[in-house]
Each structure stands twice: as C-alpha cells, then as structure tokens.
Amino acid sequence: MSKLRYHIAVMAAKFSKVIIRLSGRNGTHTPGVVARKICPDFMAQAPKAPLCICVTGTNGKTTVSNMLTDMLEKEGKKVVSNRTGSNIVPGCVTNLLNSVNWLGRCRVDATVFEVDERASRLILPYVKPDYLVVTNLFRDSLKRNAHPDYIFSVIDTYCPDTTKLILNADEQCSSNLKPNSEHVYFGIGKQDDDKTEPYNLIADYTLCPKCGTKLKFNYLRYHHIGNAYCPNCDYKSADADYLATKVDKEGKKLIVREKDGNEIEYALIHDALFNIYNELTVITMMRELGYSSDEVKKRIAEIHVPESRYSETKVGNVTVVQALSKGQSAVSSCRTFEYVAEEPGKKVIMIAEDDFSDRQKSIEFIGWIYDLEYEQFARDDVMQVVCCGPRCLDHRVRALIAGIPEEKIAWDLDEVAAVDKVKLEGVDKVYILYDCDTYGISCKMKQKLLKRLEDEK
C-alpha cells in the first residue's frame, strides 16, 4: 500500500511543481508538502541516490552545500540540492522528489541536502546519508534552538550509526558528536593572530566536557573555536586529518596538510576566517569522496562564495558591500562584525538585522541584539553606524552601550529610507549587513545607495 501511495505522491507532487513553475515561482517547498500529505513516509520510501550528503550546523551550511554541489556538478555528476529552497522537512522532501523521475526511480548520481540542525531528527534517520558534514554548533535563536547542547543531542541521537561524519576539529561542541562512528576532521592550525584566552562576549564551551575543569587553549580563534586541552584529564581537541597549516591572505593561498603528510596548495576563495573554514570543509569532503588533490585544486579555483552571502560593487571611490550577518545567530554576526571592522579604509556600517518572521507569530525575544559585538565598531575608521528597520532603536541602545559616540549613530525605522542618512564624504566602503529575512530589503538598500553614488559622482 505504501508503495502505491509513494507513486501517487510522486505524480501529484511533480504535477504541483509544474503548476507552481508555470506561475513563475520556484516550487521548493509546496511539492514537498503535497508529497508528504499523500505519503507521510515519503522520505523513507524514496530510493537513495548512489551518494547522499547532508550538511548541517549553525553557520556555513548554505555556503558549504552550495559549493559542494557546484564542485560535484563540475565533476560531471548529476546532482540535486535544496540550494534555493527550505532546509526543513518540506524542502528536503522536495529535494528527494527532484532526485526521482515520474516513475519514482532515482535519476541522479548524488543528492546534497542542506539540513536545518533542529529539523535533523526528522530527516537524517530517513535519508540515511553516507556523509554528514557538521560545520559547527553555536548559540542561535534561544526561542527556536534553546542551547547548542540541545542541538548536539538531537544530531547525536538521530544521525544513523552508519553515517561517516565530517567534523570541525577546532569546534569544541560538534567535534564530540557520535564518538563511536567513523569521523574525518578538518581544522586550521595555529595562526599568528590567534589568542589563548576567550575574548568574545559569547564563549559557550570553556569547560572540559569530561570533567568540568576550565579548558586551556593551545590557540583560540574566536568564541569556542580553537585547539583545547584539559589540564585535569585526557580530553583534548581531535587531531585534524586535513589541517590548514598556512593561510596566505595576500597571496590568496591555502596550504592544507593531509592525512599522509603531503601539503597541498589551494586557491583561497575568500579571506574571512569563517569562509576559510567553509572552503576547508568542502576540500575535506571532496578528498574523502576520492577526488585527487589536483582535481580538487582545479575545482576550488573555479567556485565562489554564493552571492546571496557576500557581494561587492564599486561606484567611483566607494565600494558597497552586501554581507550576510545572521541576526539571531549572534555568533555569525560577531564574525561578520569583526571581519568588517578590520577591513582597511573608512567605512559606514548599515545594519538591517531583525527578528522579522519570528515577530509576526509570537512574542519576540530581543536578547540576541545584546549578544552582537557592537564593540567591534567603536573605532576611529568606522565613520558611522546606521541602524535600520523596526528594531533600530534597540540596535541604537546596543551601539551606545558599546561606546560608539552618539553623533556617529543614525537610525531609521524604514531600511530603504535609512540610505538617505548615510554620510558619504571621505568614505571608502559602505557595508550593508543583513540577515536571512532581510536579504530582499538589503538589495533595495543597495540599489538606492548605488543610485545615490552615481548621482553624486
């Protein structure tokens, strides 16, 4: 009976997708809803592709899964991925639907699933991935994700024992997932500007997970990312199978020492540390799939960080940068804030981060705004901070607490109107920082700013 349901679901969901496409939309969510209505165990019924990779984690999963898909496609594989769709159950079911033909048979070489870490319990046991890539686990929306330990327990419980894990050795939470499963670790070795003591507002893992003693760090990069050991027991960070030994930002090179001790030079795709981790994750996955270092080198040089994450446009002497800075995932924002603050030149920072979709359905929790490290912008080369959108006054209070002078802070309830408040004189760069809910708005802000720059040229 369930096989018949499965075939009817495939037909109906594919038909719904055709209709949605005709109406000019993508159809990345609804076909999955239709399929599950007819066949609730659609995920278990659908045949598996020869290769199935799931990518989860707090930050970087979209970038990693998109880059992986690009790499596999360039290698001539037929791949489906939920790259433009949702990463919760309906989006993943739609992805599976795309991997089968009208007869319900697998038609691809590989499926890549970006999986929301909280929804992983409803996805991993059914799609049974060959590989699970976990980028990292950080503090995220308190209301949705509670504590990272809770997300850890969800993945640890529901990831099948047969799945091979690709994990970040430098991340003190997810690196301890599934201790009895097969693991491959990646990490970035000690860098000149690393610290040895936690310095961020958010540092969630500072105690030994075995005995509770305060951890010591051979090097600490940010938050709880680094190489740790316990002075009281034998706990220490995992050894990286793929270790970036040298990050050459000027020469745009990344040197990776592999399991056999060979050092391979790759092109550096982007110089922000979080993107170097993303690139290293992709290199590790591709090498584990059996692609030679020469092949991976060639492909890495051809791919980019997705434009919905980072883009630059220059008009006259001013560069406008649009960068993702996920609001309620404060660690993501802190990383973007630090990267932006340390970029050379005089800059204006526009912040359009909001709890936009959450606010519509429930009582909002604004604690995340106080986790954002506005302190990064309390420096002379940040000429102005412009707080945009319905939460602009909360952001303004946070900026004042960080010691940013009042005269440097502008705000506007309307994000696009806020563009008029930017003081462009003597400025080299304007950053528009947005979160997942405000990407569309940030594009309008950018358009208006580019027009203003053209007009004032």
Give the tokens for residue 414.
Answer: 């309307």
The verdict on 208 binding Zn ion (CB under 5 A) reads yes
What is the maximum span of the chain, computed from C-alpha positions, in angstroms?
70
Q: Is 173 annotated as a binding residue?
A: no
Q: Which is nearer to Zn ion, 173 or 285 (CB)?
A: 173
Site string for Zn ion, 154-193 (x = CB under 5 A): ----------------------------------------
The correct pick among 232, 293, 311, 447 for binding Zn ion (CB under 5 A) is 232
Give the tokens for residue 114.
Answer: 């970006």
The correct pick among 64, 110, 119, 230 for binding Zn ion (CB under 5 A) is 230
Window of 121-129, 201-209, 302-310, 413-421 that interacts with Zn ion by CB under 5 A: 201-209
Query: Which among 387, 276, 269, 383 has a CA at the least distance from the CA of 327?
Result: 387
Q: Is 106 annotated as a binding residue?
A: no
Q: Which is nearer to Zn ion, 211 or 413 (CB)?
A: 211
Residue found by looking up tokens 């990345």 in the block? 28
| Least Å from the CB of residue 207 to Zn ion | 8
Task: Tell me the sheet residues that pair with 388.
Answer: 412
The verdict on 215 binding Zn ion (CB under 5 A) reads no
Separation CA 383–CA 372 (nearest Å): 19
The verdict on 210 binding Zn ion (CB under 5 A) reads yes
Q: Which is nearer to Zn ion, 91 or 226 (CB)?
A: 226
The correct pick among 18, 233, 301, 401 for binding Zn ion (CB under 5 A) is 233
| Least Å from the CB of residue 211 to Zn ion | 3
| Least Å from the CB of residue 159 to Zn ion | 25
Q: Which is nearer to Zn ion, 54 or 208 (CB)?
A: 208
Q: Which is nearer to Zn ion, 211 or 401 (CB)?
A: 211
| Least Å from the CB of residue 152 to Zn ion | 18
| Least Å from the CB of residue 209 to Zn ion | 8
Phi, psi of 148 (to 5 degrees): -55, -25
Separation CA 159–CA 122 (nearest Å): 10
Environment class of 70 (CB within 10 Å of its CB; exposed 0-12, middle 13-18, buried 19+): buried
Q: Which is nearer to Zn ion, 153 or 213 (CB)?
A: 213
Q: Which is nearer to Zn ion, 70 or 171 (CB)?
A: 171
The correct pick among 18, 207, 211, 393 for binding Zn ion (CB under 5 A) is 211
Window of 64-72, 235-243, 256-264, 287-295 that interacts with Zn ion by CB under 5 A: 235-243
Q: Is 159 annotated as a binding residue?
A: no
Kindly state the number of chain residues that form the binding site for Zn ion, as judged by CB under 5 A: 8
Binding site for Zn(2+), residues? 208, 211, 230, 233
Write out the residues near Zn ion by the rule CB under 5 A: 208, 210-211, 213, 230, 232-233, 235
